A and B are shown apart, each in its own frame.
Chain A
Amino acid sequence: MKPDHLNLPPRLRGGRTAKRWEGQTLPASAPSVADKPRHLPRKQGRRISWKPILSIGSPLLLLIVWQAVTAFKLFPPEVLVSPTAVIAAFGEVITTGELQRHLSESLTRLAGGFTIGASLGLLFGLALALSKTVERLFGPTFQALRQVPVLAFIPMLILLLGIDEVFKIVIIAKAAFFPVALAAYDSVKGVPKSYFEVSSLYRAPWWVLISKILIPATVPNILAGVRLSLTRAWLVLVAAELIVADSGLGQMMEMGRQMFRLDIVMVGVIVAGVIGFALDRLFQLLQAHALRWKTA
């Protein structure tokens, strides 16, 4: 199909559209209202490409300004520490093994809570979608509980379970449960009715229905829900560790705050961000791998 832009008189092919379509040869039959095009397409290759410069330059500039501000001592060190001091603190918490200890505690917790929550969520979501009885019985309760932010349950769970490991696993599991359950429920509900009709026409037993129809039809959406729940679980884990503050990355940051160790707090912020990013990226790769049949 010919893009609409090519039918425009060349005079109008300036600005955005010209940039978008330059490099494509114009059809000879393109109607031309003006005798001479006023804007010739700019030649490519001579222009400086600003994209890499700006996208690498802006974070770099931020770092330089940050370093400069601290070098000129515009703020006292308990308010702003230099990037080099943050790197030094990073080295410090690594050599003392503090970071590794906190991080492994946090990640173990995350793995446990997330696995429990996501698998229970998957089972519950499927049951809710597949059985009318389950839906009628538990649907309203599920929909109501879903509205309560997970963080609001922290004080209740602390009172009921104490501040031990059980509490943290339960709160992470709860954070992971709802997005997965909702995604499973929605995507199974979204399977076209005709698929079920075909399966009953072929008298397919329930396990065939699940393995050959439901799983391929729903896995993409469910995986998206699992990815969301992983992000949520990480957020809630950091929050829970900040509140309870007895171990883990959140505790490291909270202690840093209470001892006015800004450098350690910043290390914690950066590590929390990097871990969150890495988890999401890893899961994205996994998702692409699991769904490679889709594009093939």
Chain B
Amino acid sequence: MTLKTLNLNAFKPVWLLGLIPPVLFLLWWDHEAAKGGANALAFVSLAQVSQALADMLASGELGLSYGSSLGRALSGLLIGGGIGTLVGIAMGLSKPVEWAASPIYNSFRQVPILGWLPLIGLWFGSGDLSKLIIVALSAFYPTVLYTFEGLKQVEARLLDVGQIYRLNGWQTFWRIQWPAALPSIFTGLFQALAFTWISTIGVELLFSSGAGLGALMQQAQLQARLDIVLVCILFVGLTGFAINFLIKRLSQHVLSWRSIRA
């Protein structure tokens, strides 16, 4: 599957085995679809799905929905992650802030993220603002947690060195605490990225007005267009895959300098 296994010397087609179950499943699916009758609604043929894909691509519907979902996820990540990092820094640097904020943070965090949606919907309507708030919230939680944890775990001896050099508060933060906390902060951001994608799909399914992959799926479900739903799932899944891949690569790259003790 990876390029390494495609090395000519060691070419063994064992990875092809992994294609057997999905291919068999698709063949069975297509067969059921071809039979029609009672199952006609439940099973759409592969031809129909690829037709739907082609139609949606041609009409620009897919691009539009995909773009707006991705935009929502990224702006949520930016807003929620930005605020979350700031709150995490405040909590990590100041004990009083930590004491005051952590009970509130921990109790709010218990509510399943989509459970906020009815409340936010009452306050801000079922438009883009409500969706953005929920998506930003889903990025906010992990960034706060990991920024805070990262700052808490700065080694005491590094801080002592800072004291010996008589660094002031800002210098201590910028030269010692911030770099030491960065790996943890990145971990939080990566988690936030995965969460924002999931919650984007969730909020779009629930408030299915407006553009977005989730909304497109929900509308297709109401019209019993399984082919469109499947195309959407494919794109949601591919994006999830791309995000996970990106996270893996980025963390290898970004976190490679981290101290050997970690």
Measured CB to CB, the residues of A under 8 A from B are 4-5, 8, 12, 14-17, 20, 50-51, 54-59, 62, 78-79, 133, 136-141, 144-145, 147-149, 151-156, 158-160, 234-235, 238-239, 242-243, 250, 253-254, 256-257, 260, 262, 265-266, 268-270, 272-274, 276-277, 280
Would you call the interface of chain B mostly helix, strand, loop, or mixed? Answer: helix
Judge whether B114 and A55 touch: CB under 8 Å: no
Question: Given A55-B99, A55-B100, A55-B103 in contact, is the A148-B233 Cβ separation under 8 Å?
Answer: yes
Judge whether B244 and A147 touch: CB under 8 Å: yes
Residues of A within 8 A of B102 (CB): 55
Judge whether B220 and A155 touch: CB under 8 Å: yes
Judge whether B241 and A15 touch: CB under 8 Å: no
Counted as pairs of residues, one from A and one from B, with CB atoms less than 8 Å apart, the total is: 182
Judge whether A243 and B205 touch: CB under 8 Å: yes
Question: Given A155-B221, A156-B226, A265-B122 in contact, is the A239-B15 Cβ separation under 8 Å?
Answer: no
Ordered by A's residue number, 19 sampled pairs between the chains whose C-beta atoms are within 8 Å are A4-B160, A5-B157, A59-B107, A79-B122, A138-B21, A140-B1, A144-B241, A145-B237, A151-B202, A152-B232, A152-B236, A153-B233, A159-B41, A159-B226, A159-B229, A235-B114, A257-B118, A257-B122, A272-B115
Chain B residue nearest to A12 (CB atoms) is: B163
Cβ of B40 < 8 Å from any Cβ of A?
no
Chain A residue nearest to B243 (CB atoms) is: A147
Partner among A62, A78, A268, A274 whose Cβ is within 8 Å of the Cβ of B118: A268
Judge whether B100 and A54 touch: CB under 8 Å: yes
Residues of A within 8 A of B37 (CB): none
- State the CA gap A242–B204 with chains docked (Å): 12
Q: Among residues 155 to 186 in chain B, which have CB atoms less than 8 Å away from a CB atom of chain A? A: 156-157, 159-160, 163-164
Chain B residue nearest to A253 (CB atoms) is: B118
Judge whether A234 and B112 touch: CB under 8 Å: yes
Cβ of B28 < 8 Å from any Cβ of A?
no
Chain A residue nearest to B245 (CB atoms) is: A147
Residues of B within 8 A of A156 (CB): 221, 226, 229-230, 233
